[in-house]
Amino acid sequence: MLAGNTGAASTCRKPVPDPAAMVFISTQAGAPLEGTFHDFDAEICFDPEYPDTPVHIEVRVATSSVDTMLPELDDALRGPDFFDSAKWPYATYSSDRIQALGNNQYLISGRLTLRDVTRTIEVPFVLKPSTVSDLSRLEGNTTIKRLDYDVGQGEWHDTRWVGNDVVLRFSVKLKPADNKNQGLHNY
């Protein structure tokens, strides 16, 4: 566990498996296109009571787990023009800092790496604690530009067919992490 300046220990949480927890929304030929990533892991360590204590949030998404319910499109997204999952199997997010905004709302700044390109992004989120169990829910979204991460090579670099804006949305149920076995796990 991480210790903070106030002496409070941060609380670590792990996601409860849910294949619909990580969603992306883009456009293809001007029409909305939604998909999910079924395989991901995360470690979320911070104390909502003391958000200024050290924070550790790591997320790893298997890009090969992309699912738009269109198998031909999924194969293309896994291929070298888009995610190139064979070469770069994971997209990762690693926190740098978190800011409490009040009312269980936070803004996290961190590094998103996709296709070996890393950019700093801010992600607003809400942490909803349960009143009846030790589970909580983390919800948020942000928009990235796919071309900033070299997603869309060759003819797919043109934004007339595949929009540049991609909304990343998540709603993840969290459980306390097993302190003896912290860290991200292989799929």
Q: pLDDT-derived band of residue 178, with 50, 70 and 90 as boundaries?
A: confident
Output the DSSP codes for 5-60: TTSPBPEEEEEPP-TTSEEEEEEETTEEEEEEE--EEEEEEE-TT-TTS--EEEEE
pLDDT at 108: 94
pLDDT at 51: 65
pLDDT at 48: 75
pLDDT at 129: 85
Whether the per-residue pLDDT at 8 is higher than 50: the answer is: no
Backbone angles phi, psi at 9, to 5 degrees: -90, 140
pLDDT at 2: 29
pLDDT at 33: 96
pTM of the model: 0.86
Higher pLDDT, 53 or 107: 107
Q: What is the mean pLDDT of the chain?
A: 88
Reported as a single tens digit per residue, the pLDDT across 139-166 is 999 999 999 999 999 999 999 999 999 9
Q: What percent of the chain has pLDDT over 70?
A: 88
| CA distance linking residue 169 with residue 163, whole number of Å | 17
Whether the per-residue pLDDT at 187 is higher than 90: the answer is: no
Whether the per-residue pLDDT at 106 is higher than 70: the answer is: yes
Domain 11-177, CATH homologous superfamily name and number? Lipid/polyisoprenoid-binding, YceI-like (2.40.128.110)
Reported as a single tens digit per residue, the pLDDT across 29-84 is 999 999 999 999 999 988 777 766 767 899 999 999 999 999 999 999 999 999 99
